[in-house]
Chains A and B, each alone.
Chain A
């Protein structure tokens, strides 16, 4: 159990975000004839040469790789549209412009696999990079306004990849503020000394895991228990090493 538990359980990897983006619909123009595909994720086709049809991005990229179609870049990926978005993005410091939820991943996949289908690709690419930079700058300045009073952060129109990148930081910042703001954290003068186990004042004193528990004044018996606690709760403690340490601690305690 201890070895396998993943401390970042809830965080998506970049590849997983890309996987989600690959289900977005794209328009392609096939150059071959193929019957309709009845797939788990939906029915697509039939495909006729020169007749545009809609398929998920992963299917479009696969066909493109085999030279069976050209991909029509989505409307928002034109120089004209992106210039507008970039301008609006610069003008409104407190808002994000509406772009597809997966715009980073879609554009990235198309740049990688369908570069000859995108008109003015260098311009489009640098515009998208600029837009990303402006948006990240906004997120960063927005972070400065987080305080103990923050119960909610509104990030309308932030895209999937952007969410994924800022998630660890925002969540930890909010959590830290929330924790230090909660009434339990304000020390109660009479309770602080008493919530240790009663044996805490006897025997030799030494500290095992200062980061695990504040004010850890512990005797040998509790020390053993602390290590078990660490082994159960902290993914950073390796299980085998801890076991040895426990046995050693136990020896010390009994002599």
Chain B
């Protein structure tokens, strides 16, 4: 009963926030989080799809307007709006590609792989291929036996110790959207932070990872 009413409350709030925020706003949030987070976040497939459609629609409108010789001012205003949306979308995709290039070996052998879009997965595969081939030809093939792995220092290494990984221990600036409540910062539980709405904190990324993914907190 209680959980039922709570659920209803959430959907109502969700609908409200959906009505209030445009896709540009959502894309901006995704872009900001992606830029500020050390690791790659889930690809916002639906959001990107919707933004693409809107951009295309506006492109057609602009073309139509300039075809029938409308007011120059209106055309240039629409064009500016279009450019802003395009910039956001491009920058979002580009930040992700940079992260993929940097951590491709790590991403391809962990759960992070599922966060990539289909195209990004293809890109990562090709990129890894080329990198491996290049390093193989220019260096690794000339090294003595035992040192030829791209993933390991030498054959005696127990784990892959040559794979660049994102540093999750780093600190990030974050802003809470609503009240998150008391929140445990480390595993031992002696550090607790009470996050109220609109608070700004510098916290360790690892400890707020879940909140970022759940959308309760924004990185700035």
Contacts and interface: CB of A to CB of B under 8 A. Distances in A.
A178 B35 contact: no
B105 to A, nearest CB: 9
Interface residues of A, number: 53
A223 to B, nearest CB: 11
A14 to B, nearest CB: 14
Q: Which of B78, B127, B173 has the most CB of A within 10 A?
A: B173
Interface string B45-81: 0000001001100100000000000010110111011
A243 B147 contact: no
Interface stretch (B5-13, B113-121, B135-143): B135-143
Interface in B3-49: 22-25, 28, 32, 35-38
A6 B98 contact: yes
B18 to A, nearest CB: 14
Contacts of A41: 22, 24-25, 81, 84-85
A4 B95 CA distance: 12
A82 interface: no
Given A34-B74, A39-B58, A197 B156 contact: yes
A12 B34 CA distance: 11
Interface string B124-141: 000100010001001100
A167 B185 CA distance: 20
Interface in B191-211: 191, 193, 198-204
B143 A224 contact: yes
B169 to A, nearest CB: 6
Contacts of A156: 198-200
B37 A10 contact: yes
Contacts of A190: none
B144 to A, nearest CB: 6
Contact of A151 (B36, B85, B186, B200): B186
B144 A221 contact: yes
Interface stretch (A58-66, A83-91, A109-117, A124-132): A58-66
B164 interface: yes
A152 interface: yes
B201 A154 contact: yes
A54 to B, nearest CB: 14
B162 interface: yes
A221 B203 CA distance: 42
A229 B101 contact: no
A12 B219 CA distance: 12
Contact of B98 (A5, A68, A175, A232): A5
Contact of B35 (A12, A58, A233): A12
Contact of A228 (B101, B139, B170): B139
B202 to A, nearest CB: 4
29 contacts: A5-B102, A9-B102, A12-B35, A20-B28, A23-B24, A34-B74, A35-B74, A40-B23, A40-B24, A40-B55, A40-B81, A40-B84, A59-B77, A62-B80, A153-B201, A155-B201, A156-B200, A167-B173, A171-B172, A171-B202, A174-B202, A175-B169, A175-B170, A178-B204, A221-B147, A229-B162, A243-B138, A246-B138, A247-B142
3 pairs of A and B residues whose beta carbons are closest in the complex: A153-B202, A39-B81, A41-B24
